Amino acid sequence: MSKYIIRTVHIVEVPDDAWFNSVDIFDDPDYFINMFESFSYCDSVEEKEEK
């Protein structure tokens, strides 16, 4: 079975009056992706090397 590393970029649009900042997003990115994602795309895919 092959293993891959997939890097995805998520663009989120957080309302200005929501009082969140980049530290909040870094601490819980899944919350912000689920609530505010407006666009995402695959940035890269690479096969993971077995060690």
Closest CA to 10 of 45, 31, 48: 31
Distance, C-alpha 4 to centroid of its chain = 17
pLDDT at 46 (0 to 100):
95
pLDDT in tens, 16-34: 898 998 999 999 999 999 9
* Mean predicted lDDT score pLDDT of the chain: 92
**Higher pLDDT pick, 31 / 50:** 31
Radius of gyration in angstroms for the set of CA atoms belonging to the chain, rounded to a whole number: 15
Q: What HEC string does 7-18 produce?
A: EEEEEECCCHHH
pLDDT at 1 (0 to 100):
86
pLDDT at 51 (0 to 100):
66
pLDDT at 27 (0 to 100):
95
Q: What is the percent of the chain where pLDDT is above 70?
A: 98
